[in-house]
Amino acid sequence: MKAEATQKMKTAPRTGADLLVDSLIDQGVDTLFGYPGGAVLPIYDAIYRAGESFDHILPRHEQGAIHAAEGYARVSGRPGVVIGTSGPGATNLITGIADAMMDSLPVVIFTGQVAKGVIGTDAFQESDVMGITTPITKHNYQVQRIEDLPRVVKEAFHIATTGRPGPVVVDIPKDISSTVHESEVDSSFHLPGYQPTVNPNPLQIRKLHEALLQAKKPVVLAGAGVIHAKGSQELKQFVQNYELPVATTLLGLGSFPGSDRLSIGMAGMHGTYTANMALYESDLLINIGARFDDRLTGNLQHFAPKAKVAHVDIDPAEIGKNVLTDIPIVSDAKAALEALNQFASDQLDHREWLETTQKNKGEFPLWHVDYETDISPQWLMKKVHEYTNGDSIVTTDVGQHQMWAAQYYSFHQPNRWVTSGGLGTMGFGFPSAIGAQIADPEAKVIAIVGDGGFQMTMQELSLLQERKLPVKVVIVNNQALGMVRQWQESFYDKRYSHSLIETQPDFVKLAESYQIPGYRIDSPKQLEEVLPSVLNDPHPAVIDCRVMQEENVYPMIAPGKGLHEMIGVKR
């Protein structure tokens, strides 16, 4: 982790936009997600002149660009790069910037800005990008001098990709990108205020090891931090050494194989009974790379009440933020696990505990009802899993379909699950699938979306058609904003205020209008006939699956309740 680097960039008479292009190439960027406009015309001209250097992906809305960049970042592990113009271009990116912030995704966003001379005059297509994005970025810049550009780009990529990843915005006034700059540019950077801690404190690691030796009911909670740190192998080794049950967070799915004997599934609001009870009963909770989100913890009073809590996080501010921590470990998840794996794995006396969790797994599994004539959404997820051998990349929006996908599509590997966890963004699933497919052209990518969320970004079908990407869109169509409807049913006495969507486009015809095959599936029989071949077809497709409208996501921790108060558990 080097915060300092020196490089002199020799420049012919070149514009700021050329310097930007050079800097991007220098960072190894070859894919851009962007949308042109007035304030970025010089940048787009430079991109044009750079010819084959970039694969530029043009969405139909800036929100599509940034969600695609997020999907790209999630799957490739490389930063997603986004370009938007000033004013409305920048404000259309906001949802994605906030989403990337909440889910710690490395995204670098370049926004055009009006010329320096008119900033602050409410000029045409001006917006205060710095002011708007400060609370939702890891850091942001407005380039004031052309010679700062190469340094700022370097810093932006460094900040976005190191430590806890996150979005960085670089706002570039139009005169900066269009002015010719002839002299040499020094792009050395120095960030004394930014020095993420990567390696754990050995003392704290020792403490955790000692706690492990004493624990009777230890449990591991694995979050997305494990995936970001590429620490899945180390996690596997760690839990196998000590025979520890592993729960994952929503975003941590895939950090540990869902099918493994030691996996107790997802924890949290719609997690498994086994995982939540294990957290509730445990005497040592080892959180690795999760941030104790409220959707995970439920009522904090009842969260792991008997446990000594160890928390490994690269962001010191996460430790102790929501849950009091006994053993704080500021570290990259992989580095911490490597350090833990140095210890000899003495035989621990918690076999009884492991048996309890195994028994719970068998006795209180996830359950659902299958119907003769209607498709149950949970069954649909199981079928998607079956037909794709469980090895596809799955992206989702937020809501019921997201929870069903999380529950029933068991992930074996990291970076296969792309979902909007923290911000809970409708419209995320489809464009992020496009980005995921661009990052991994060989992968099978399934966008599981709700009928509500899909309608927020479905214009990107045009991009799908243009790029000939074989993404499959599976619409879990219950003609409702399902999770809203479920909450209204449960907590608002069935007053379905504006959550039932009676008028919808014909999704099959919609797909066909983009020359993408569309399918409508109404019955389980039809699903079994159509879905296997469509999912394994090398072309894109939109599959409109009509599912039971009244189906709810269970089990559940109701708002304000504790981990041990799950409802909808089959007994």
Partner 1 sequence: MKRIVTAIVHNRSGVLNRVTGLLAKRQFNIESISVGRTETEGVSKMTFVVDVEDERKLEQLTKQLNKQVDVLKVSDISEKAIVARELAMVKVISNPQIRSEIQSIIEPFRATVIDVSRESMTIQVTGNSDKVDALIDLLRPYGIKELARTGLTAFTRGHQKQVAEIKSYSLLK
- Residue 75 or residue 329: which is nearer to partner 1 going by CB? 329
Q: Does 191 bind partner 1 (CB under 8 A)?
A: yes
Among residues 11, 113, 177, 204, the one that binds partner 1 under rule CB under 8 A? 204
Which one of 9, 54, 116, 125 is the catalytic residue? 125
Are 32 and 84 within 8 A, CB to CB? no
User: What would the 3-class secondary structure string for 521-568 be?
Assistant: ECCHHHHHHHHHHHHCCCCCEEEEEEECCCCCCCCECCCCCCCCCCEC
- Residue 142 or residue 272: which is nearer to partner 1 going by CB? 142
Helix residue spans in 397-479 (DSSP H): 400-408, 429-439, 451-457, 461-467
Q: Does 500 bind partner 1 (CB under 8 A)?
A: no
- Residue 197 or residue 523: which is nearer to partner 1 going by CB? 197
How many residues bind to partner 1 according to rule CB under 8 A? Answer: 25
Q: Angle of helix 62-76 relative to helix 94-102, nearest 10 degrees?
A: 20
Which one of 4, 124, 210, 550 is the catalytic residue? 124
- Residue 142 or residue 388: which is nearer to partner 1 going by CB? 142
Q: How far is the CB of 199 from partner 1 (least distance, A)?
A: 13
Distances (CA, A) of 162 to 66, 83, 352: 20, 21, 41
For residue 31 the two structure tokens come to 């894919």
Radius of gyration of the chain (CA): 24
Are 522 and 451 within 8 A, CB to CB? no
Q: Does 143 bind partner 1 (CB under 8 A)?
A: no
Q: Candidates 89-97, 191-199, 224-232, 433-441 — which segment interacts with partner 1 by CB under 8 A?
A: 191-199
- How many other CB atoms sit within 10 Å of the CB of residue 182? 9
Q: How far is the CB of 100 from partner 1 (least distance, A)?
A: 16
Are 100 and 66 within 8 A, CB to CB? yes
DSSP 348: P
Question: Among this protein's residues, is 62 annotated catalytic?
Answer: yes
β-pairing verdict for 541-546 and 472-477: parallel
Question: Among this protein's residues, is 102 annotated catalytic?
Answer: no
Q: Candidates 38-46, 201-209, 270-278, 450-458 — which segment interacts with partner 1 by CB under 8 A?
A: 201-209
- Could you say which residues in the range 312-371 bind partner 1, by CB under 8 A? 315-317, 319-321, 324, 328, 330
Q: Does 505 bind partner 1 (CB under 8 A)?
A: no
DSSP 200: P
CA dist 88 and 290 (Å) reads 34
User: Per-residue x/- marks for partner 1, 113-142, CB under 8 A?
Assistant: -----------------xx--xx--xx--x
Among residues 54, 194, 343, 371, the one that binds partner 1 under rule CB under 8 A? 194
Q: How far is the CB of 239 from partner 1 (least distance, A)?
A: 25
- Residue 320 or residue 532: which is nearer to partner 1 going by CB? 320
CA dist 349 and 459 (Å) reads 57
Q: Does 2 bind partner 1 (CB under 8 A)?
A: no
- Residue 109 or residue 535: which is nearer to partner 1 going by CB? 109
- 474: β partners: 448, 543
Cis amide linkage into residue 555, ω under 30° from 0:
yes
For residue 27 the two structure tokens come to 């960072």
- Residue 175 or residue 565: which is nearer to partner 1 going by CB? 175
Q: How far is the CB of 476 from partner 1 (least distance, A)?
A: 34
Which one of 63, 102, 110, 174 is the catalytic residue? 174
Which one of 62, 281, 318, 338 is the catalytic residue? 62
Which of 559, 563, 89 is closest to 306 using CA atoms?
563
User: Per-residue x/- marks for partner 1, 233-262, CB under 8 A?
Assistant: ------------------------------
CA dist 242 and 359 (Å) reads 19
Q: Does 192 bind partner 1 (CB under 8 A)?
A: yes
Residues 6+ apart with CB under 8 A from 525: none
Q: Candidates 25-33, 197-205, 346-354, 461-469 — which segment interacts with partner 1 by CB under 8 A?
A: 197-205
- Residue 194 or residue 343: which is nearer to partner 1 going by CB? 194
Q: How far is the CB of 328 from partner 1 (least distance, A)?
A: 5
CA dist 487 and 494 (Å) reads 8
Question: Among this protein's residues, is 483 annotated catalytic?
Answer: yes
- How many other CB atoms sit within 10 Å of the CB of residue 149? 27
- Residue 330 or residue 483: which is nearer to partner 1 going by CB? 330
Q: How far is the CB of 209 from partner 1 (least distance, A)?
A: 17
Which H or E element spans position 517?
none
For residue 214 the two structure tokens come to 């004493």
Q: Does 538 bind partner 1 (CB under 8 A)?
A: no
Which residues are known to be catalytic?
A: 62, 124-125, 174, 483
Q: Which residues bind partner 1 (CB under 8 A)?
A: 130-131, 134-135, 138-139, 142, 144, 159, 191-194, 201, 203-204, 315-317, 319-321, 324, 328, 330
